A = this chain, B = another copy of it.
């Protein structure tokens, strides 16, 4: 059976030593996030995840969800009870605004805890996880009445939320959507259409489900500009706020999937369901993007989460399993017929690779969440703008790169297990199947790359990317001045130069032929991800070198950080050159072959 222990110590290191969240104690919510409170919260969340949620992960995979004849959906054994406990412990309220019953803690704390929940049980997390996005959208775009009606119960987790975008013929290209909204005399709309791939669309864990649905109002342009957003509850809400009659929305089928079997992925049929417009008509896409951006950081987090749990299990297996002997006689265990897998350099290579990606991912996604907090809560307009610029730029990278690395990590972990990783028993093949979805949903990673190159780079004349380069460049200088711990600065400098050159190349060649931008987008995203992790390792190497200089009691921890940073510098950063060359190769050889020849 797979095991899991929340990496609380590493999270605390990132929050307190690397991101220094203590510096923001003057901001709303941060004051409540004192070091001891944060440590207690992380500890509790880790415990709950490991003890309650993780044991249900394999059960969820094996039992899956069942759609009953009446269209109701039964979640895997134990999920409903665990969700009840989860809500009773108040976990859904953590980062929600206090005025709706939340605890108002910073998003960065929510992200830290989200990792544990996701590592323990990805499918379970999605029942509540998508609710956060729906809450954020209602807070920003909803009417006062809508906020009053929905938010308090969503914040406690009694009601969950969904996002309804995709239809059978339209995924990425939302302009094609056919779901229509007909205005009704009472001010509501009758929503009619079919939505697919709706995560947590129907289930038995919450008293109500609040669907956020994209549709076109009769007469609106039949393009992306004609899309409006509606809130459509599973059960209508009575005047007194209690649950009323069933709305005309139902689950038509459950999808059979490669993984995340514990989550109900629904075909949702809207058959004149009552819905209420959220925000202005025909501005649905902008509203949806509030949800999408939060969701994309959350999906990046899923990459890390699957990578972390896969890594932990691979480490355990490499310790327990004995096979072959160390290449160097002096490293062999005396009298043993075989040494643990750990002694083999190629196994160690895989473990180090996973480790440097996971710790890099954790630092980057928490950094991103902190920017979200600063963007919302900072008292300085300049700091808000800067945080907004940086996190907007890097959101597609966090989504795309972290999920790619999360999947690769799960695959590597499976490889450490050898044949035992291919059979179900050890649970590691589930990590591979579950991790795979994160590269696909909320915009495939190819779409993230296009968003990065086509939208985020040129925005505001490239202000964000220039700021990022300046920031990383100045930290490289500082690190060099401080003796360049673990040699990260020396390795990151040419990688940053490659990224800058690739950026320049795209700026010059992407406008004249947009296919150049499209053909290089994915390699560019990889290059920016590589450099962003390098930037985090630069920070971590400096922080840990300083801690050692300052006589830290925890030498082993900081020495491990420096060793992992060195691995990243030696073995990962050299990839910058080939990414750059792929960008600079342009569209020609990518587009040369005519379609009919394929």
| A positions within 8 Å CB-CB of B | 166, 170-173, 175-176, 196-197, 255-259, 265, 315, 318-319, 322-324, 327-328, 337-338, 340, 342, 344-352, 355, 407, 411, 414-415, 418-425, 429, 432-433, 436-437, 439-441, 444-446, 449-450, 513-515, 517-519, 521-522, 556, 559-560, 563-564, 566-567, 569-571, 574-575, 577-578, 581-582, 585, 587-593, 595, 597-598
18 additional A-B residue pairs with CB within 8 Å, beyond A172-B324, A346-B449, A349-B522: A176-B337, A256-B425, A258-B422, A315-B598, A319-B595, A345-B518, A345-B590, A346-B518, A348-B591, A350-B446, A407-B411, A429-B436, A567-B592, A571-B585, A571-B589, A571-B590, A574-B577, A574-B585
Contact of A440 among B259, B422, B437, B592 (CB under 8 A): B422
Question: Which residue on chain B has the smallest CB distance to residue A343?
Answer: B595
Contacts of A323 in B (CB 8 A): 170-173, 176
Contact B574 A590 (CB under 8 A): no
Interface centre among A327, A340, A346, A429 (most CB of B within 10 A): A346
Contacts of A420 in B (CB 8 A): 171
> Is the pair B445, A415 in contact by a Cβ cutoff of 8 Å?
yes
- Offer 24 A-B interface pairs, CB within 8 angstroms, sorted by A: A171-B418, A171-B420, A176-B323, A256-B423, A257-B423, A257-B424, A258-B432, A327-B517, A344-B518, A345-B518, A345-B519, A346-B519, A349-B519, A352-B593, A411-B436, A418-B444, A421-B440, A429-B436, A566-B589, A566-B592, A570-B588, A574-B578, A574-B581, A577-B577
The smallest C-beta distance from A451 to any residue of chain B, in angstroms, reads: 11
Return chain B residues, CB-CB under 8 Å to A595. Answer: 319, 340, 342
Top 6 nearest A-B pairs (CB, nearest first) are A345-B518, A327-B514, A574-B581, A258-B429, A345-B519, A570-B585
CB distance from A175 to the nearest CB of B (A): 8
Query: What B residues does A521 contact at CB under 8 A?
Result: 345-346
Q: From DSSP, what is the main secondary structure of chain A's interface residues?
A: helix
Distance in Å: Cβ of A168 to nearest Cβ of chain B? 9
List, in ascending order, chain B residues with CB within 8 A of A522's CB: 346, 349
Question: A323: nearest residue on chain B (CB-CB)?
Answer: B173
A260, closest chain B residue (CB): B422
Point out the residue from B345, B446, B556, B592 that lies within 8 Å of A597, measured CB to CB. Answer: B556
Tell me which of B344, B345, B423, B589 contacts A563 (CB under 8 A): B589
Complex Cα distance, B171 from A585, in Å, reads: 44
Q: In the complex, how many angstroms separate the beta carbon of A37 from the nearest chain B beta carbon? A: 28
| B256 and A424 contact, CB distance less than 8 A | yes
Task: With CB as the reference atom, state the residue of chain B lying closest to A592.
Answer: B563
**CA of A352 to CA of B173 in the docked complex: distance in angstroms?**
23
Bound complex: CA A137 to CA B574 (Å): 45
Complex Cα gap A432–B410 (Å): 14
Min CB distance, A361 to chain B, in Å?
17
Query: Closest approach, in angstroms, between the C-beta of A391 and any C-beta of chain B?
Result: 23
Q: A323-B170, A597-B560 are in contact. Are A440 and B415 (CB under 8 A)?
A: yes
**Contacting pair B598 A355 (CB below 8 A):** yes
**By the criterion CB–CB under 8 Å, are B424 and A258 in contact?**
yes
